[in-house]
Amino acid sequence: MDMSSDTSKEYIMLELDLITTVAWKQAFGEKLKQMRGKVSRRSLADEIQSRFDYKVSQQYIQLLENPAMPKAPQNVSFQLLRYICQVLERDVQEIFGVPKIISH
């Protein structure tokens, strides 16, 4: 494969538990906002705190959904993304738009 092409991408498979952070992109924020739908940011943050004892604010969720905002994180905890998706009853892979591979 010609790696000099700007359009080529390389993929590897990893266990999800090995991933600690994700380089956050605008498209991920837009997808996260779409996935949240009518669930308020406050209720999402409260539910994450209640179910997983993981402190996150509604303001931080807003920054995730709008990565172009000042002070928005460039890297995001993958564990937080998993918690958000669990509360929303969605798969974390939906954020990234890639196929899901399950190994037993």
- 23: enclosing H helix or E strand: strand 21-23
Go through the domains of the chain in sequence order and give each one's CATH number.
Answer: 21-96 (1.10.260.40)
Contact 47, 64 (CB under 8 A): no
pLDDT in tens, 30-65: 999 999 999 999 999 999 999 999 999 999 999 999
pLDDT tens per residue, range 74-97: 999 999 999 999 999 999 989 988
Give 21's Cβ-side CA count (13 Å radius): 7
Instruction: Count the residues in the chain.
Output: 104
In sequence order, what are the residues at sequence separation of 6 or more whose Cβ sits closer than 8 angstroms to the Cβ of residue 87? 39, 44, 47, 48, 51
Strand partners, 75: 23
Using DSSP's 3-state secondary structure scheme, residue 21 falls into strand
Question: Is 0.85 surpassed by the pTM of this model?
Answer: no
d(CA 100, CA 67): 25
